[in-house]
Amino acid sequence: MSSALSIHQLSVSYGKRQVIRALDVPCLRAGDITALLGPNGSGKSTLLRALAGLQHSSGDVRLDQRALSRQRGEVAYLPQTLPPSVHLSVFESLMVAGQATAAGLSRRHDDQQVFALLQSLGIEQLALRYLDQLSGGQRQLVGIAQALIREPAVLLLDEPLSALDLNYQFHVMDLLHRETRRRGMVTVIVLHDLNVALRHCDRVLMLKDGALQANGAPDEVIDSQSLRRVYGVSGRVERCSQGVAHVLVDGLHSGLR
């Protein structure tokens, strides 16, 4: 897995307001899940939309040394707010999504492949349900399935856990971690739960006011200093009896708020 996504001097503005400022990230490796962390309004979703080619930006983004703007078919993007549902069954929607891969190649997926993907997400029982009859959490899971069946090289997910219960949050992150490794994807995911990033992600980019504050392994980046500097809270990272790191927040940091 030698491919990588690189970002050089990426800037995004809404009118005169600059949201992302000259962002540099030299190497997001294939096979890794990278979490975008930061407070509300820090530019996480804007960055994801810029990478997906849905937001005008300046700078240079490359996948395997080639401009990503020329490889849009390699990118699958799942927004935070899903578009209105059409009157298709879940199974039909995956067959439609799978007719072309993310690379734009025509490909038919057989019934067993589609059903196997639904099983891996734990939603095979929804196969014959219609999209416009699903709950928000169920639609989010189907959206993830639609993105995965396109076989992208770059998978961009904006808060995909927001509508999911604890069971599905763990299940989905475990699946994404496994599939990112197996398929050799570059996966970038916007998260608010720092404990999910600590447990399930390989790398963290921490943003504040459109600028990169930290970049590295989750257990190196998420600490009391970054909690105070980026989130304005006094907190710490401790390990439980099983050795899993958890963020504990003690209160607001009086020096910042």
Residue 173, φ and ψ in degrees, nearest 5: -65, -40
Domain that holds residue 236: 223-257
Q: What residues have CB less than 8 Å from 217, skipping those under 6 apart? A: 202, 203, 204
User: Are 93 and 145 part of one and the same domain?
Assistant: yes
pTM over 0.75? The answer is yes
Residue 182: phi, psi to the nearest 5? -65, -40
How many domains does the structure of the chain reveal? 2
Which has the closest alpha carbon to 131: 62, 163, 75, 83?
A: 83
Same domain, 41 and 153: yes
Q: Report pLDDT digits (tens) over 143-199.
A: 999 999 999 999 999 999 988 999 999 999 999 999 999 999 999 999 999 999 999
Q: Identify whether residues 192 and 104 lie together within a single domain.
A: yes
What pLDDT is recorded for position 213?
95
Query: Does 130 lie in the same domain as 12?
Result: yes
As beta bridge partners, residue 5 has 28, 63
Let me know whether 179 and 241 are in one domain.
no
Give the model confidence (pLDDT) of 52-93 as tens digits: 999 999 999 999 989 998 898 899 999 988 777 778 999 999
Predicted local distance difference test score (pLDDT) of residue 1: 44
Q: Quick one: 245 and 118 in the same domain? A: no
Q: Are residues 34 and 115 in the same domain?
A: yes
Residue 196: phi, psi to the nearest 5? -65, -40
Q: Amino acid identity, residue 121? A: L
Same domain flag for 180 and 234: no
Q: Do 153 and 5 contact (CB within 8 A), yes or no?
A: no
Helices 136-149 and 166-183, axial angle in degrees (round to 10): 10
First-to-last alpha carbon distance for the chain, in angstroms, is 44
pLDDT for 209 beyond 80: yes
Together in a domain, 250 and 178: no
Other C-beta atoms within 10 Å of 43: how many?
Answer: 22
Same domain, 211 and 229: no
Instruction: Indicate the angle between helix axes 90-97 and 136-149, nearest 10 degrees.
Output: 30
On whether both 97 and 173 belong to a single domain, the answer is: yes
Tokens for 24?
């540099």
Q: How confident is the model at residue 253 (pLDDT cuts 50, 70, 90)?
A: confident
Backbone angles phi, psi at 154, to 5 degrees: -125, 125
Asked if 119 and 199 sit in the same domain, the reply is yes
